[in-house]
Amino acid sequence: MKDFDLFMQICRRIESYQPDMIQLQYDLTAIPALSPENGGDGEYAKARFLFSKLHTLGFRSIQQIDSADERVSSGLRPNLFTEIQGKHDDCTVWILTHMDVVPPGERVFWEDDPYHACMKNGRIYGRGTEDNQQDLVASIFAARAFLDECIVPEHSIGLALVSDEETNSQHGLYFILNHPKNPFRKGDWLVVPDAGNEDGSMIEVAEKSILWVRFRIAGKQCHASRPKQGRNAFLSASHLAILLDESLHASFNIRDEIFDPPESTFELTKRDANVPNVNTIPGEDVFYMDCRVLPRYSLLEVLKTMREAADEIESRFNVQVTLEVVQQGEAPAPTPIDAPVVGALRSAVRDIYGVKAIPRGIGGNTVAAFLRRDGYHAVVWSRVDMMAHQPNEYCMISNMIGNAKVFAHLFL
Q: Which residues belong to the active site?
A: 100, 165
Report how far apart, in Å, the C-alpha atoms of 348 and of each of 177, 283, 352, 377 are. Answer: 28, 59, 6, 17
Of 244, 245, 217, 236, whose CA–CA distance to 321 is shortest? 217
**Cβ atoms 97, 362 nearer than 8 A:** no
Positive or negative, the CA dihedral 129, 131, 134, 137 is negative
Q: What is the 3-state secondary structure (H, E, C) of 120-175?
A: ECCEEECCCCCCCHHHHHHHHHHHHHHHHCCCCCCEEEEEEEECCCCCCCCCCHHH
Query: Residue 198, by phi and psi: left (phi above 0), alpha (psi -120 to 50) or beta?
Result: alpha
Positive or negative, the CA dihedral 213, 219, 220, 223 is negative
**Cβ atoms 191, 407 nearer than 8 A:** yes
Taking residue 254's Cβ as centre, other Cβ atoms within 10 Å add up to: 10
User: Residue 128 and residue 388: Cα distance in Å, rounded?
Assistant: 8
**Is the omega angle on the peptide bond into residue 261 within 30 degrees of 0, that is, cis?**
yes
Burial environment of residue 165 by CB neighbours within 10 A (0 to 12, 13 to 18, 19 or more): buried
**Cβ atoms 95, 191 nearer than 8 A:** yes
